[in-house]
Structures are given as structure tokens and as C-alpha cells.
Amino acid sequence: MGSSGSKSTAMDWRDEVPSLADQLWYMYENKIGTDLQIAVTNDEKVQSFDCHRTIMRRLSFNFELQDDDENFMYVDVGDMDPDLFDYIIKFAYTDKIVFKSFKDSIQIHRVASNYQMNHLRKECENFMQNKVDKDSVWSLLSHTNKGPDLTALTDYFLTGQTCACLESPEFLSCNQTTLELLLSQESINATELQLIQAVLKWTRHKNGNKPFDSETARRILGPCISLLRFLCLTAADFSTYVAQSGLISNEDALLVLINLSTKGQAKLPSYICTTDVPRKPCSAAFKVNCDAAVEVRKEEEDEKTEGAECLPAAPAVQSQKIRRSKKAKAEKIQRSPEHKQKSNK
């Protein structure tokens, strides 16, 4: 635990650090009057932080110790690097947080959610909503504790900007569960051929960029293989891109080709999807709203000064951003052909 130090030293730092937030942070850094030790642990290491229980309890009731004399607690951060807990500590003392990367914000958001640090969780979400793109969305999709706002955000990218997301190198790093989520979409802005080509690329990557056979493909893909709609392809596209790819066996490929030629002519294996109904593209209005949202985020990013810290937005600023977003969406929708047709009617 820290100590209060000499009286002359205390006078010096109080004079040199006038603001409350800076004084509190100075006391933490120099362990002045600290009365709580937090051991942050994951599977690999433990990192200790000496801090003030009064400051930490403002983050969440989870930091309220039952015994007033108790001065030690464990915090399990899962797979997060314990060093990142320093960001959480600084937020508790200064109400400010600067994320170094998108992945850091996801890890901190996970811990904030698990320990009901609601204010910090919202700060993480604000940062991710402003920074997410076709690359970082794959990390966000793998995040299991997103909440409704972030789930809506990932759905927008997954269904509205599908092709751009599939072209991202980060797509190859997504897990099987995320791929299954993608292939489960009924409305999506990609053709079945584009989806199958992306799955082939993903399977090859997971197999160490080595050729694979149908048995290996089924092991890697699991339930995802049954979500591919081969019967929505033309016979020519199936023969060119799928039949010799190793995704399914030659025997099963022949059965698919027979069904592409004459529907229901041959019985397909149980793992092959039998639907020949194409997925629906997202509506024009949805794509307009997506584009408007992207433009608004770009405008907000341009307005930020270089090196500015990620501070909580004031309510008035948040309202202004919402109004701008709605106005941009409305103008886009009014200019769309779909809206004009309805107006003429």
C-alpha cells in the first residue's frame, strides 16, 4: 500500500498539480494514500495495481468490498492482457480513455461488460461505432458480448457491405461461428457465387494454404458447408468454381450437376443444401441508409483534431450528430429511385 509521504512533498505536488483530476492521478501514480490492491489475472500472468477504493467503486458495484478493512481483490480479465487494465484505472481517475487500437477497445469492452462498468462500456461502444470498418468488423463479429447497439452495427456491415467485408484480409481470421452467422443471412449484398468463393478462400487459409479434399473441407467448415446454396449457381459456374475445388467430393458434385440440369432428378447427400431460392439483396432504402451512416462517420472523423483524446461526447453534441445522421439519411432516401416511384404513385 502507498503512504502519504512527507508534509513538504505533499505541499509540493498539490501546488504543482492544481486540477482535481490531475491530483487524483498523481496520487495513484505515486501511491499516495492507496488502500486497495487489485490483482488482475488471466491464464498467463498476474498484474497488481495499487489504487484507491473510493475511486474504483465509482466504476461499478463490483469494486465495493463487503468488509471495510479488506484491501485486496482479484479481477479475472479472461484473455485480455492484464496490462490493459491500466486503461480502466486511468478512466476511473480521469474519466478519459484513449484507445491505441480497435482490438484493445473490444477487450476492454468485454471486461467492462462482465463487471458492469456501464459508463466505460458506453465509451468503448462510442469509439467502436466511430472506428468500425470492413476490416475491424470481423474482430467485432467475434466479440460475444456486443449488446444491441453493436449487434445492429455488425448486421449493417455484414448485410449492407458484404462484398467489401469479404475482400478484407481480416475476413480470413474470423472463426467458424462468425462464418456461420454470415452464411445464415437471408438478405445480403453478395451473390451465392461470391459467398462460395469467399468460403473456398477461407477454407484454404484455415488449411494452411494447402490443397484440401472434401473430408478436410467438411471438418474445417462444420455446419457452414450445409449453408452454401450450390443449386443457386449456374451449371457452368458450379463446374468452374466448385466441382474441382475439393469443397465436395466428385460423386456429390456430379449429383449437384444433375439437379442443376433437372431439378430433383438425383437425391443429394444430407449435408448439401437443397434450396434453389437465391438470397435477397438488401433493399435500396437500406443501402441508402448504410451509405449515409458511413458519410456521417467520415464527416465526424474529419472534424476531429489530430491527436485529440477520446472524450465522452456532451449530450448536445450527441443530439447534433443524431440530427445530422437522420438528415443525411432522409436526403439520400428522397433522391433514391425507389422513393421517387412511390411519390409519383
In order, the DSSP letters of 186-216 are: SB-SS-HHHHHHHHHHHHHHHTTT----HHH
- Give the pLDDT confidence score for residue 17 in this predicted structure: 78
Task: Please give the pLDDT value at position 292.
Answer: 53
What is the pLDDT, as a whole number, of residue 303? 53
Cell of 44: 498467463
Confidence of residue 231 (pLDDT cuts 50, 70, 90): very high
Q: Is the pLDDT of residue 340 over 80?
A: no
- 146 burial (CB, 10 Å; 0-12 / 13-18 / 19+) is buried
Residue in this structure with the C-alpha cell 501511491, named with its chain if needed: 31
The pTM is what?
0.70
What is the arithmetic mean of pLDDT over 29-55? 88
pLDDT of the residue at 305: 40
Residue 244 in this model has a pLDDT that exceeds 70:
yes
DSSP string computed for 12-49: HHHHH--SHHHHHHHHHHTTSS--EEEEEE-SS-EEEE
Average pLDDT (33-56) is 88
pLDDT of residue 143: 84
Q: Which residue has the higher pLDDT, 323 or 223?
A: 223
Task: Calculate mean pLDDT across residues 20-47.
Answer: 88
Confidence of residue 335 (pLDDT cuts 50, 70, 90): low
Which pLDDT band, with edges at 50, 70 and 90, does 4 fall under?
A: very low
For residue 243, name the pLDDT band (cuts at 50, 70, 90).
Answer: very high
Greatest mean pLDDT among 147-156, 213-222, 301-310 lies in 213-222
The Cα–Cα gap between 27 and 19 comes to 12
**DSSP code per residue over 71-95:** -EEEEE-TTS-GGGHHHHHHHHHHS
Question: Which residues on neighbouring strands pair with residue 53, listed in sequence order?
Answer: none
Whether 1 has a pLDDT exceeding 70, the answer reads no
Question: What's the CA gap between 171 and 134, in Å, rounded?
Answer: 9
Among 72-76, 253-257, 333-337, where is mean pLDDT lowest?
333-337
What is the per-residue pLDDT for 312?
Answer: 39
pLDDT of residue 7: 47
**Region 90-105: what's the mean pLDDT?**
92
Lowest mean pLDDT: which of 160-169, 186-195, 287-296? 287-296
Mean pLDDT of 321-333: 48
The span from the CA of 187 to the CA of 165, in Å, is 15
Q: Residue 61 burial (CB < 10 Å; 0-12/13-18/19+)? A: exposed
Predicted local confidence at residue 103, as pLDDT: 92
Residues 137 and 158: beta-carbon distance below 8 Å: yes
Residue that wins the pLDDT comparison between 317 and 132: 132
Single-letter amino acid, residue 258: I
Listed in sequence order, the residues at least 6 apart from 84 whose beta carbon sits closer than 8 Å to its beta carbon are 77, 104, 107, 108
State the pLDDT confidence band at 8, using cuts at 50, 70 and 90: very low
Where do the DSSP E strands lie in the chain? Answer: 36-41, 46-51, 72-76
- Mean pLDDT rounded to a whole number for the chain: 81
Q: Which amino acid is at 146?
A: K
